[in-house]
């Protein structure tokens, strides 16, 4: 027992009476640094969740646009005079992407497409082709456009339909 007390006394003499603990200023500075670190981590987590939502929304929008473009290409191969392929604006159509596990709606989109002729740079020549541009816009509740910064974007995909490329 005496030996333990002697070791404590030696430690106290070596460290001095001033080094017994942390001062109030040191604790406040440590808390300030810790709080800034936690606030930064919270912002990073918010940005990461927003990025995941944006990636899902853009991926689904690109899939919907590509699906509509493939449908219109198939219609063009079967019947070039179809009403969906006349020159001008077409739509809107609404599409809803459902979660296969729960059946809840993940995304809702409005699809519009524009069909135009393809200009030929050669004088007097006419190309028998159509330029089709499909635009997919995210929707909120009802038919209101849901275009929030950092969470979802409008996607446009274009293609030229021609008999020569089939």
The pLDDT, as a whole number, for residue 125 is 78
The pLDDT, as a whole number, for residue 19 is 58
Residue 3 lies in a domain: no
Tokens, residue 22? 């942390």
The pLDDT, as a whole number, for residue 132 is 93
Domain that includes residue 129, residue range: 11-162
Please state the domain count of the chain.
Answer: 1
Residue 61 lies in a domain: yes
Q: Whole-model pTM?
A: 0.64
The pLDDT, as a whole number, for residue 111 is 92
Separation CA 33–CA 25 (nearest Å): 12
Q: How many H helices and E strands in the chain?
A: 2, 4
User: What's the burial of 123, exposed, middle or buried (CB within 10 Å: 0-12/13-18/19+)?
Assistant: exposed
Q: pLDDT band for position 166 (50/70/90)?
A: very low
Residue owning tokens 């899939």: 63
Residue 5 lies in a domain: no
Residue 93 lies in a domain: yes
């Amino acid at each position: 027992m005496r030996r333990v007390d002697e070791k404590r006394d030696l430690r106290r003499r070596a460290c001095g009476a001033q080094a017994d603990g942390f001062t109030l200023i040191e604790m406040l500075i440590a808390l300030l640094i810790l709080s800034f670190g936690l606030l930064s981590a919270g912002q990073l987590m918010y940005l990461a969740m927003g990025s995941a939502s944006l990636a899902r929304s853009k991926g689904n929008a690109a899939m919907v646009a590509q699906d509509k473009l493939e449908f219109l290409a198939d219609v063009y191969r079967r019947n070039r005079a179809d009403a969906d392929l006349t020159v001008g604006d077409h739509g809107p159509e609404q599409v809803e992407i459902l979660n296969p596990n729960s059946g809840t709606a993940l995304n809702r989109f409005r699809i519009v497409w524009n069909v135009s002729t393809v200009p030929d740079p050669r004088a007097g020549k006419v190309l028998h082709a159509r330029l089709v541009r499909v635009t997919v816009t995210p929707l909120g509740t009802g038919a209101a456009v849901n275009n929030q910064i950092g969470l979802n974007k409008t996607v446009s995909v274009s293609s030229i339909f021609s008999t020569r490329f089939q």
